[in-house]
Amino acid sequence: MAGPGKNHSSDNKQTLYICEKPSQGRDIAAFLGAHQRYNGYMQGNNTQVSWCIGHLLELAPPDAYDPRYKRWLLKDLPVVPQHWKLAPKKSTAKQLKVLKTLLKQCRNVVIATDADREGETIAREVLEYLHYKGPIQRLWLSALDKVSIQRAFNNMKPDQDTQPLYRSGLARSRADWLIGMNLTRAFTLQANDRQVHSVGRVQTPTLALVVKRDREISQFKPESYYDIEAFFQAADGILKAQWLFDPKGKKHCFEKVMAKTVLQRCQQQNGIVTTARTQGKKQSPPLLYNLSALQQEASRRWAYGAQEVLNIAQALYETHKLTSYPRSDCEYLPLSQFKDVSSVLQAMCKTDPSLCSLISQADQSRKSRVWNDKKITAHHGIIPTQASTQINRLNHKELNIYDLIRRRYLAQFFPDFEYDQSVIIVTIGRDLFKATGNITRIEGWKLLINDKADKDQILPAVSKGESLYCKQLELKEKQTKPPRHFTEGTLIRAMETIGSQITDKVMKKILRDTAGLGTQATRANIIQTLLQRKFIYKDKKLIKATTLGFDLIDSVPEAIKDPALTAQWEQQLDDLANNKIPDIQPFLQQQIDLLKSIIRQLKQEKSPVQNSPGTAKAGYPPGSACPECGQPLEIRKAIKGKRIGQDYIGCSGFPECRFFSWKL
């Protein structure tokens, strides 16, 4: 086929749509009636549709700034570009040339890449590299079925609305280059073992989570503890109850003698029912899936990998057009989409007639809590679209993921799950025995989503004050259990919820509970990278660190492997994307300050960096009294400024007391 410009006049300029990949380009071109095919683009109706193939450009390597950086030398680090350079990827250079020609002859550009930070960056870095100065609009696609595409065209976004996403993307890529390139060179040179010791801004703290968990498991020493099961004779059956070792909150009894004493004094005694409470409870339908929740559920049910789930969800979105944009971080829907309910349910029924009987029971007028405009981020939750296909076109795994998504959506139109929760406590002297159970009253949405793990224990009817005979007591010796190894699903969860796990007062004050490592779109790739680089491996569905992974975490400074500090950076990237921070330079300066601090320390030391907690040389050892308020001092880590990443001594009374002293 002819190249750009050979089948149309350059004075009849056209609108150019830039998509993220060819398949997306074909969908947009078909919708626009641009059916003429050329090398790297399609044309028709005064419109041209072309595409990137992921990132067409990449940040230039260090030797593009100075040839001496081809050699890895500690004395040359850190490399900090003053003016950042992009370089075309060799594998996709031909497509970049196509876009260059099309941009010269177009009237205006519509960015139609994926509606997220990465999609924005993919398109805008090309426009900037090729010095495009014309008008720009943004096509914000939530799904690729015809109805969703039409809706996106009706609500085209102006250029300035999505520019903050590009700034966030630039900040992320440059920070990753600064940290990854410099520290990979630094720790590879330090190790001097002919292996590349890859360090990443998000990759390394994620690895640290796995290493920490593995060490907690290997160092765990099980302890025996003792439970007592009691069996009481009630009028209409046997009541099975558990001994409450300490009603004030202690979890286990570790003294066998104490448990045996309880056994002896309660055996074949009468107990009095001191609590017999039944309370009606309701559960609303679960929220819609975002990508992380979908990955976690698929990992739990079928041990699917995080990247595998993303690939399947992407196929349901791109190839089958059955679901909405998969890389969403949202679990809600805008009220404007309530009018689509009937069409979506009809499409689901047409795709899979076996679901029609359930769909017929849905109350389409019911508005669950997912319909909430205030909760909508850049995207809404993952839902079925108004498109239909033949269900047998989906493979087994695609059907599993599609089924999760469609049932969550359908559940919104079913009643709450209602049940009676019963609590019975029987008292023998000073010893208490407790039984709990649930009785389903209205199945509601659980008709669609009923986990096999849900088990109702039906209790016999008893009344407060009733006397029950204790027929039998059984002493059971058990052992405390270590934490579980991560699966891909639970690791995604740990990455996502770092903000809520932080106990450090200073960091807690800074981090929002939603702060995490990576984003919905990148977490699967981070885990995949760790697997590919042999830092972790899969033992069936369990994720474990390799010796290489342990060694790396032991060699890098705390600041680089600290999940909380990295989560703080991700929070700043999120604020950049939402235009809460207008400039990327302060964020990048934090990375530069940290780099300089770490590499300065490496140059001063001959042995691997170890930032073990120890006694401060400034005269204020941790645990000693604060000279200003008397509360204990503790070791902290600087999270901003020129000493970012360094330890200091701070008052445990923060933020009321702000005394600190730098460790020397």
Half-sphere exposure of 615 (CA within 13 A, CB side): 4
- In one letter, which amino acid is 331? E
- Residues facing residue 37 across a β-bridge: 42
Which position has the token pair 């309880």? 262
575: how many CB neighbours lie within 10 A of its CB? 16
Work out the angle at residue 505's Cα, subtended by the Cα atoms of residues 502 and 508, and round it to the nearest 5 degrees: 45
Question: Residues near 327 by Cβ (< 8 Å), separated by ≥ 6?
Answer: 114, 116, 291, 310, 379, 520, 521
Chain center to CA of 598: 28
Which position has the token pair 């626009």? 32
Cis peptide before 482 (omega within 30 of 0): no
Question: Residues near 106 by Cβ (< 8 Å), separated by ≥ 6?
Answer: 13, 14, 15, 16, 48, 134
Token code pair at residue 437: 């159970």
Among 198, 114, 241, smallest CA distance to 530 is for: 198
Q: Largest alpha-carbon pair distance within the chain?
A: 100
Measured N-to-C along each axis, helices 396-411 and 341-351 cross at an angle, to the nearest 10 degrees, of: 150
Q: Rounded to whole angstroms, what are the CA distances from 46 to 9, 11, 34, 563? A: 11, 12, 8, 51
The Cα 622–Cα 651 span in angstroms is: 9
- Of 38, 325, 332, 402, the catalytic one is 325
Q: What string of DSSP letters covers 296-313?
A: HHHHHHH---HHHHHHHH
- In one letter, which amino acid is 654? F
End-to-end, the C-alpha distance of the chain in Å comes to 69
The Cα 404–Cα 489 span in angstroms is: 15
The Cα 636–Cα 660 span in angstroms is: 9
The Cα 102–Cα 612 span in angstroms is: 57
Question: Would you say how long the chain is, in residues?
Answer: 664
Helix (H, G, I), strand (E, B) or coil at 207: helix
Question: Residues near 638 by Cβ (< 8 Å), separated by ≥ 6?
Answer: 644, 645, 646, 647, 648
- Residues facing residue 431 across a β-bridge: 428
Active site residue 65: no
C-beta of residue 306 within 8 angstroms of C-beta of residue 343:
no
The sign of the dihedral angle between the CA atoms of 281, 284, 286, 287 is negative
Strand (E) or helix (H) holding 228 = strand 224-234
Which position has the token pair 């508005």? 367
Cis peptide before 78 (omega within 30 of 0): yes
- In one letter, which amino acid is 320? H
The Cα 607–Cα 331 span in angstroms is: 48
Q: What string of DSSP letters covers 262-295?
A: HHHHHTT-EEEEEEEEEEEEEEPPPPPB-HHHHH
Among 598, 547, 479, smallest CA distance to 210 is for: 547
Running DSSP on this structure, what letter comes out for residue 354? G
The Cα 664–Cα 649 span in angstroms is: 10
Active site positions, annotated: 325
